[in-house]
């Protein structure tokens, strides 16, 4: 399933570095170092979502991240360039369909502007090859 349109906002970028995905219990406090990073201007990628069932923290691994998250830092991130208009529908479905067919597990973080697709670092090259074969363009 190729991209719905050939537009620059749908070009893909592999972000540098390793990413972590961590799950906390809903009543567990958010580590102060994570709170500090959330309020720090210009900090690296960090996403925090709290629901009644869990707290998910996703971010780029760097100094300042709690060492307890280190074992979960086995992810790489593919970003849709964005920003995307809300009228673009089905983008995520079309992006993930070939990865599903290739047996590549994913974790997605969506923002107002775009989507971030995380794959296990062992699957990064296969994910890139799979998406290119499906017609997706990676920016250099």
Is 41 a residue whose pLDDT tops 80?
no
User: Please, what is the average pLDDT of the chain?
Assistant: 89
pLDDT given for residue 13 in this prediction: 96
**Average pLDDT estimate for 113-119:** 95
CB 22 within 8 A of CB 69: yes
Q: With a threshold of 0.85, does the pTM exceed it?
A: yes
pLDDT given for residue 68 in this prediction: 85
pLDDT given for residue 17 in this prediction: 94
Q: 76, exposed or middle or buried, with CB in 10 Å at 0-12, 13-18, 19+? A: buried
Residue appearing with tokens 């998406």: 131
96/41: higher pLDDT:
96
Is 6 a residue whose pLDDT tops 80?
no
Query: H or E segment at 39?
Result: helix 32-39
pLDDT given for residue 36 in this prediction: 84
**pLDDT tens figures, 58-94:** 999 988 888 888 888 899 999 998 888 887 778 899 9
Q: Strand, helix or coil at 38? A: helix
């Amino acid at each position: 399933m190729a991209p719905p349109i050939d537009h620059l906002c749908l070009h893909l970028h592999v972000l540098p570095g390793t990413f972590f995905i961590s799950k906390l219990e809903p009543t567990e406090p958010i580590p102060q170092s994570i709170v500090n990073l959330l309020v720090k201007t210009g900090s690296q990628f960090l996403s925090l979502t709290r629901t009644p069932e869990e707290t998910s923290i996703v971010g780029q691994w760097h100094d300042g991240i709690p060492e307890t998250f280190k074992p979960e830092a086995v992810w790489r991130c593919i970003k849709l360039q964005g920003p995307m208009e809300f009228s673009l529908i089905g983008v995520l479905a079309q992006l993930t369909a070939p990865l599903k067919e290739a047996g590549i597990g994913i974790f997605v973080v969506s923002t107002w502007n775009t989507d971030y697709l995380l794959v296990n670092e062992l699957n990064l090259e296969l994910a890139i090859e799979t998406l290119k074969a499906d017609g997706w363009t990676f920016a250099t």
